[in-house]
Amino acid sequence: MEKKRHIKYNTEVTGAEAVILSLLDANVTEIFGYPGGAIMPIYDALYDYMDKLNHYLVRHEQGATHAAQGYSRVSGKPGVVFATSGPGATNLITGIADAQIDSTPLVCITGQVHSHLLGTDAFQETDVVGVSMPVTKWNIQVTKPEDIAPAITKAFYIATSGRPGPVLVDITKDAQFGKTTYDYKKCESIRSYFPCPKVNLEDVNAAAELINKAQRPYILCGHGVLLSSAEKQLLALAEKADIPVASTLLGLSAFPPSHPLYVGYLGMHGNYGPNLLTNECDVLIAIGMRFDDRVTGNVSKYAKQAKVVHFEIDPAEINKIIPADVAVLGDAKEALELLLPKVNSAKRKDWLQKFTDCSNVEFEKVIRDAIDPDSEKLRMAEVIDKFHKISGGNAIIVTDVGQHQMITSRYYKFNHPNHSVTSGGLGTMGFGLPAAVGAKVAKPNEQVVAVLGDGGFQMTIQELGTIMQSNIAVKILVLNNNFLGMVRQWQQLFFDRRYSFTEMKNPDFITIAKGYNIKGKKVTERENLQDALQEMYNSKEAFLLEVVVENEENVFPMITTGASVSEIILE
C-alpha cells in the first residue's frame, strides 16, 4: 500500500486529514482509540498515515483514556485519544475525570454528528462538550474544517502548560468531510491565560526565612515535583537543610526511597511516622501537592502547630484546604532553584530520630508479620515485598485501586522517577490494566507490571484483547482475595463484619488469559511464589500471574474517617 508523505502547508485537504496532519505537527506518534460512525472520516484519513502514527485499538473507550494516561505519566508527553460520538464519547468521561484530578495531559478527539443535526437528538448524538465541561481543562466543538488545526494546536498548548490536564476537541462530521487549506501555527500563548505564574522573589525569601528558623521542618512531596522534573532540586534542598521528606501517593518515585532523609508515604494507609509527626513539625513545606483529604485526615486537627509553606503552580490550590503562611506560586523546579541558595545548611539529628523511632514501631507492629507471615495463606504484602526484591525496584508499576494499591505503595520502593502509575484523586477501579498498556507503549524497553485486584481487573479485563492484538509485553500480577477488599476491610472494622455484596465469585483468570493467547500461572502456595514471580518477570511476552491471597487481610496503619493524622492506628 502506497503511503502519503506529510503534506506541506497551504495544501487543500479534508478536515479529517487536517486532524492527522495537526497531530503529526504536534509530534504525536501514538493514538489510543475506537472507531465509529461519527469519527469514521478521521479514521479513513489515518489509514494513509499508519507508517507515521501507531494506533492501538482498545476494547472500550474508557480503556483508551486510561491507556493514554499511562502513556503520559511515564513519557511526559500528552496522551491522544480517538472516540466516536454519543456512547463512544461518554465512555471517555471516567478516564477524563481521572486525568483532570491527577493533572495528566490528554488530548481527546471525538467525532460528532453533522452540524445541522446538533440539538435534534440525532442517532448517537450527545452534547459531549456540555457533559465533559466539568472534568476537562478546556473543550471545544468544531463545526468548520478551517477551525480544526487551530483548535488542535490550542488543545495541546492548554493540556501541557501550567498544571497539566485533559482537553477535548469535538468535531462534527461535516467539518471532517469539508475542505480547508492546511496550515499549522504552534500555539504558545493565549490572551488572558497565564498557566505558569512568575515566581515572586519576596515569597521565596519569606519561605527561606521560615525554613532557616525552623527546628523541625518537614517536606511533603507531591505529584507536582514529578510534573516539573524537580527531583534533583528537591533532593538538594533536603540534603542541604537536613529535612525529612515524605511522599503523597502520586509523589511516589520523586525522592529516592533508600535515602536516609526519606521517611515514607503519606495518607490513610501510609507510614506511621510521616502521618503522626505531621502534627509535631514546626514548618510544613508542601511542594506540588494539594492537601487531599486522604493526606490531611481531619483538617481541623491538621498541623495546627506548624507554619505552612506551600509551593504550587495552581493558584486555586492555595488556601483551598490548608491555609498557607507563605505561598510560592510557580513551577516547582524554578521555585526550588531560587530557594536553594537562600537556605542555610543544618543538621537535625534529634528530629530525624523521631521518624526512625516511629519506623521501628511500625516494623515491629505491622511490617514484620506482613512480609514474613506465619499464616497459612499468602499475604499481599509478602508478594509485593518479594517482587520488589526480584525487580530491584526498577520496574514501572501500574496499580489499580484498592487494598493492593495501598500495599504496593507501601512495600514497593521505586528507584526511578515516574515509575509509579496509579489513579489517585478519583480512585478509578479498572484503571490499572489499560494504563499499563499505555505505559508499556511509552517505554517498550522497560519492565511494566500491572498490579491488580480481582475486582478492578474485571472492570477492564477486555483490554487483554488490546495486549493480544498489539503484542504488548505487559506483565499482570493479580492479587486475588475473592473480595472487594478495601470495602470489605471497612465492613469488618466499622459494620460488624456485615459483608454486604463484597464477596466475589471469580472466573478462571488463567483460562481467560489463555483465550487471549497470554501465558498465565496461578499460585496458591508460598513455596511456589518466588519461582512464579521470577518466571513472570523474565517473560519476554505478556504474562498473567494470579496469586491467591488471604481473604481477610487488612491494610495497616490506617487513619479512619474523621480522625486526625495523630490518631493513626497500627492494628
Strands (E), 222-354: 245-247, 262-265, 283-287, 307-312, 326-329
Q: Is 427 in a helix, a strand, or coil?
A: coil
- Cell 489510543 identifies what position? 32
What is d(CA 202, CA 191) in angstroms, rounded to the nearest whole number? 27
* Peptide bond before residue 557 is cis, with ω within 30 degrees of 0: yes
Instruction: Given the residues 77, 173, 354, 521, select the one marked as catalytic.
Output: 173
Q: Is 205 in a helix, a strand, or coil?
A: helix
Phi, psi at 151, each rounded to 5° = -65, -40
Q: Look at residue 375 in the predicted model and tell me its pLDDT.
A: 87
What is d(CA 550, CA 353) in angstroms, rounded to the nearest whole number? 35
Please report how the helices 332-339 and 201-213 are oriented relative to each other, as an axis angle in degrees rounded to 10: 60
* 12-181 and 201-355 share one fold: yes
Q: Which DSSP state fits 367? A: I
The CATH label, of 2.30.30.100, 3.40.50.620, 3.40.50.970, 2.40.40.20, for the domain at 12-181 is 3.40.50.970
- Cell 482475595 identifies what position? 481
Q: What angle do CA 33, 417, 135 make, to 5 degrees?
A: 40
What is d(CA 303, CA 308) in angstroms, rounded to the nearest whole number? 8
Across the strands, what pairs with 452?
A: 478
What is d(CA 12, CA 234) in angstroms, rounded to the nearest whole number? 50
Reading the block at residue 9, the C-alpha cell is 502547508
What is d(CA 28, CA 5) in angstroms, rounded to the nearest whole number? 16
Instruction: Given the residues 289, 406, 486, 558, select the one marked as catalytic.
Output: 486
Phi, psi at 171, each rounded to 5° = -120, 120
The single-letter code of the amino acid at 240 is K
Q: Look at residue 7 in the predicted model and tell me its pLDDT.
A: 59
The single-letter code of the amino acid at 328 is V
Domain ranges for the chain: 12-181, 201-355, 376-548
Q: Look at residue 291 in the predicted model and tell me its pLDDT.
A: 96
The single-letter code of the amino acid at 162 is G
Listed as ranges, residues in the chain with pLDDT below 50 are: 1-5
Q: Residues for the chain: how many in total?
A: 571
Distances (CA, A) of 400 to 119, 222, 379, 532: 38, 19, 18, 21
Please report how the helices 15-25 and 148-160 are oriented relative to each other, as an axis angle in degrees rounded to 10: 30
CA torsion through residues 249, 402, 263, 281, sign: positive
Active site includes 124? yes
What is d(CA 415, CA 29) in angstroms, rounded to the nearest whole number? 28
> DSSP string of 162-196?
SS--EEEEEEEHHHHHSEEEE-------BTTB--S
What is d(CA 298, CA 323) in angstroms, rounded to the nearest whole number? 14
What is d(CA 143, CA 154) in angstroms, rounded to the nearest whole number? 16
Active site includes 240? no
Instruction: Given the residues 17, 30, 32, 61, select the one marked as catalytic.
Output: 61
CA within 13 Å, CB half, 280 = 14
Q: Could you tell me the fold of the domain covering 376-548?
A: Rossmann fold (3.40.50)
Q: What angle do CA 211, 214, 217 make, to 5 degrees?
A: 75
The single-letter code of the amino acid at 30 is E
Instruction: Given the residues 124, 469, 492, 530, select the one marked as catalytic.
Output: 124
47, 210 contact by CB (below 8 A): no
Q: Look at residue 3 in the predicted model and tell me its pLDDT.
A: 41
Using alpha carbons only, how large is the chain's radius of gyration in Å? 24
Provide the Cα torsion 166, 172, 173, 175; round to 10°. -100
- Whole-prediction pTM value? 0.96
Burial of 336 (0-12, 13-18, 19+ CB in 10 A): buried
Instruction: Given the residues 3, 123, 198, 232, select the one marked as catalytic.
Output: 123
Distances (CA, A) of 143 to 123, 136, 172: 18, 20, 5
Active site includes 123? yes
* Residue of 141, 180, 174, 160 whose CA lies nearest to 21: 180
235, 217 contact by CB (below 8 A): no
> What architecture (CATH level 2) is domain 201-355?
3-Layer(aba) Sandwich (3.40)
| pLDDT 10s digits, 92-143 | 999 999 999 999 999 999 999 999 999 999 999 999 999 999 999 999 999 9
Reading the block at residue 26, the C-alpha cell is 504536534
Distances (CA, A) of 6 to 49, 156, 380: 8, 20, 51
Q: Look at residue 4 in the predicted model and tell me its pLDDT.
A: 45
Describe the strand order of the beta sheet including 106-112 as a list of residue ranges: 54-57, 30-33, 79-83, 106-112, 166-172, 138-142
Pairing of strands 245-247, 283-287: unpaired
Provide the Cα torsion 407, 410, 416, 420; round to 10°. 40
Burial of 265 (0-12, 13-18, 19+ CB in 10 A): buried
What is d(CA 403, CA 424) in angstroms, rounded to the nearest whole number? 13
